[in-house]
Structure 1
Amino acid sequence: MKISARIASSRPLATTAMHGRVETLRSQGESVIDFSIAISHFPAPRPVLDAVAAAIERERIMPYTSVVGALDVRTRLAAKLKKENDIDAGADEIIVTNGAKQGLYEALYALSDPYDTVLIFKPHWPAYVATSQLLGLRTILADLPEEITPALLDGLGKPDIVIINNPHNPTGKVYTRRELEHLRAWVERIGARVIVDESYEHLIFEGGHTSLAALCDWRDIGVVTLFSASQSYAMMGWRVGFALAPAEVVNAMQTLQGPITAAAGHLSQVALEVAFATGAPRAMMADYRDRRDLAVRLFAEVPWIVMHAPTSGPYLWGDVRSLTLDTVGFAEALLEEQRVAVMPGEALGVPGYIRLGYISDDVATLREGIRRIIEFGNAFVAHKAADRR
């Protein structure tokens, strides 16, 4: 069977592939602790569940909506952008998508032509690179610094498109207003378009979140901002988000979305509207903070890993370079021997690190998974020492 050249050299995302392996093992009766992905143990917010239940009872027939999303939903999302992000936007500048991945694909498709260059900071969400490659774009990978400075940006050339993840997966970095102002000045000077992924805007433990679009003429520059209910509202399986973009970009994204999926499901749009109206998930974040702090304490005395407390997000980013740079091998052996799944840093562009999602299951399972990782790593150290003798 012929497979097109467009897809033949591509591979499934490492993040989803590892989660799929966990599901296969579990279906075979294996007990596996899955830190490879972040699936919240919280349900969707109660107002979301109530609104969807009421819509099912009230409407019975679920209508198609406009491809870009129902007008009343987009109008309320525009109000959210004004209230929470200090961004003035109209309903015609918003498109509801089946999750952030669809918004990313459509935005890149609409803003680029084959062989355009895309700047991506690493470690990175794997979908940024995979989507760019599917579209025939040339990726420029740069190390994410502790601080974005004009000098750093000037050394990155003149990419056609810049992808920013704020807050950042997996490090938890939250861009400061000053850093975003440096980015704004730079992209204005070089004429780059920008995609800003703000899917984790509410998952911040320290400080606040600033949207790049609030600091610039986003219509003139060509800034697309992606939002998702998945992590901010524990709605991973609902597969719904939205994008803010200049009206002509929204129209282009709609042209692509129409023949692929048409609109997001009616009930998902009901859920999206209500979720973003509930504001910051404070109770959930208090729980996440406790889990984050517990995990960091449990790793604190382990000599072969450096685990800082992230400023945001559902992940820990552990430095195991003193142990190994081959974290693919580390993750494979850990899954085989201890039945714990983590994401190797290679999948996110940086060997020598592992990513752990710490928000799934109960606290006892979190403790047990970390105990197994430490036990495995200690044995790894002992084997290395024995090999040197």
Structure 2
Amino acid sequence: MSAATSPSERRVSARIGAISESATLAVDAKAKALKAAGRPVIGFGAGEPDFPTPDYIVDAAVEACRNPKYHRYTPAGGLPELKAAIAEKTLRDSGYEVDASQILVTNGGKQAIYEAFAAILDPGDEVIVPAPYWTTYPESIRLAGGVPVEVVADETTGYRVSVEQLEAARTEKTKVVLFVSPSNPTGAVYSEAEAEAIGRWAVEHGLWVLTDEIYEHLVYGDATFTSLPAIVPELRDKCIVVNGVAKTYAMTGWRVGWIIGPKDVVKAATNLQSHATSNVSNVAQVAALAAVSGPLDAVAEMRTAFDRRRNLIVRMLNEIDGVFCPEPEGAFYAYPAVKDLLGKEIRGKRPATTVELAALILDEAEVAVVPGEAFGTPGYLRLSYALGDNDLIEGVSRIQKLLGEAKA
């Protein structure tokens, strides 16, 4: 659009036109399209468990479909019984005691993130965003009128930012710091001491914290999950927790997330949702109720499988010359550094960026990965290991073969 284009001639608003497509969903869609066309593409793009939703959760949804009570509108903020169950689950899993009135049930984690930022940001407010970051965070911040300020960590620190880095990024416009552990896209997990230091720094400077706890149950080895408002109680009045059932219970398609925060902020976000979508699907809410009220046996089984795949993918990636992959301690992503491969010749091409390298891997090896540019850090690739063992081995083997041909 030229500078001379008048508002009346603009077909898409500047605000929405500035939003980028989700890179991870775009890669996943392209991989699925190629596969549907008959190509043997293996996709490492989407962060989606390959396990089915547990039967007891599905059964609860089936029963809800038959109950006329759930055929009508329900409160925009969520079913009261689900909100109460989320409060109990939060105390059980995080040691964080909250009231149901502090909870808003949303259409997945993405809506929770946007509504949380929309509820507390005014135009020009800055949000410190550790990078590599999940693609949706900066877009939600901008859509809410805020300004994302990136603080970059790399493989030398296990992709964890320090308080010193955060302080260097803080200005008089800083209102919020984003905290994500375990992390998408890197699998980084902050120790309790590291998390507490960041929480106390936020309290010292009167900052809000938005903490995304969606991968809370997916930690491995000696790593442990830490909930910031549980270990830094002084933070609670300026802390918003985002969570959901998608990753823990293999329920990505059910679209149920939630916000936990101060009552006035949750009320404001609920007002927004009442106009945006009304209530979350009642059938999905009943399924989520069964999930959060039930045992964690299913996630324990999935975590065992993810741990096995984690060890396998890290070993196989680190066998490739020019690739370094730190061991992820949580979630289900590997985030290898591939900077040493850029500019090298691979089958007649010299990819200069990881966008070009990812395209080459898809074209030549028929494997879909997400380039680091999508997460704010060029020079890396993200591979989700939430796919079957056989596909994982075959996919990384193809990458090994292709990248093994790299030459100066």
Question: The TM-score by the shorter chain falls in which range?
Answer: over 0.9
Show the 5 A alignment for 1:82-121: 82-121=91-130
Corresponding position: 1:195 with 2:210: yes
8 A contact 2:199–2:235 mirrored in 1: no
State whether structure 2 residue 318 is matched by structure 1 residue 300. Answer: yes
Listed one character per residue, the Cα deviations across residues 122-153 of structure 1 (whole Å, up to 9, x for unaligned) are 00001011111222321110013545544343
State the partner residue of 1:18: 27
Check whether the contact 1:192–1:221 (CA below 8 A) recurs between aligned residues. no
Confirm or deny that 1:266 pairs with 2:313: no
User: What is the CA distance between 1:337 and its match in structure 2?
Assistant: 1.7
3-state SS of paired residue (2:127): strand
**Pairing partner for 1:335 from 358, 362, 376:** 362
**Distance (whole Å) between structure 1 residues aligned to residue 162 and residue 19 of structure 2:** 34
Residue 9 of structure 1 aligns with which residue? 18
Matched AA of 2:198: L
TM-score (norm 1): 0.93
- What residue identity is the alignment partner of 2:64? A
Separation in structure 1 between the aligned mates of residue 376 and residue 113 of structure 2, nearest angstrom: 19
Q: Displacement of 1:61 after TM fit?
A: 5.1
Q: Give the aligned partner of residue 309 of structure 1.
A: 327
Q: Which residue matches 2:305?
A: 287
Is 1:351 the counterpart of 2:360? The answer is no
C-alpha separation between the residues in 2 aligned to 1:279 and 1:318? 34
Q: Structure 1, residues 38-69: CA drift from partner, whole Å, max 9, x if none?
A: 22221112221121123234448523211110
Q: Residues 123 and 348 of structure 1 are in contact (CA less than 8 Å); yes or no, is this contact kept in structure 2?
A: yes
Q: Does 1:169 align with 2:187?
A: no
Q: Is the 8 A contact 1:13 1:130 kept in 2?
A: no
RMSD of equivalent CA atoms? 1.8
Contact 1:32 1:341 in 2 (8 A): yes
> Which residue identity is paired with 1:197?
D
Q: What is the alpha-carbon distance in structure 2 between the residues aligned to residue 165 and residue 104 of structure 1?
A: 12
**Aligned equivalents of 1:247, 1:82: Cα separation in 2:** 17
Equivalent AA in structure 1 for residue 167 of structure 2: D
Q: Distance in 2 between matches of 1:25 and 1:105?
A: 32
Amino acid at match of 1:258: S
Question: 2:64, 2:70 within 8 Å by CA — same for their partners in 1?
Answer: no
* Among 159, 170, 190, the residue aligned to 1:157: 170
Q: Hey, what does 1:319 align to over in structure 2?
A: 337
Uncovered stretches (5+) of structure 1, i.e. residues with no partner? none
**Runs of 4+ more than 6 Å apart:** none
8 Å CA contact 1:164, 1:197 repeated in 2: yes
Indicate which of 241, 244, 249 corresponds to 1:225. Answer: 241
**Secondary structure at 1:37 match in 2:** coil
Aligned to 2:220: 205
| Higher mean C-alpha displacement, 263-272 vs 218-227 | 218-227
- Give the AA of the match of 2:392: L
- Report deviation, 1:296: 2.0
8 Å CA contact 1:148, 1:179 repeated in 2: no
Counterpart pick for 1:186 among 187, 201, 221:
201
Q: Does the alignment pair 1:378 with 2:393?
A: no
Q: Secondary structure at the match of 1:29?
A: coil
One-letter amino acid of the structure 1 residue matched with residue 92 of structure 2: K
Match of 1:226, SS? strand
Q: Residue 318 of structure 2 aligns to which amino acid in structure 1?
A: A
Q: Distance in 2 between matches of 1:240 and 1:336?
A: 35
CA distance in 1, matches of 2:84, 2:203: 29
- Displacement, 1:279? 4.5
Amino acid across the alignment from 1:342: V
Distance 1:183 1:221, change over 3 A: farther
Kindly indicate whether the alpha-carbon contact (under 8 Å) linking 2:240 and 2:259 is maintained by their aligned counterparts in 1: yes
- Structure 2 counterparts to residues 60-79 of structure 1, below 5 A: 62-79=71-88
TM-score by length of structure 2 reads 0.89
Aligned to 1:129: 138
Q: CA deviation at 1:168?
A: 0.9
Offset of residue 260 of structure 1: 1.1
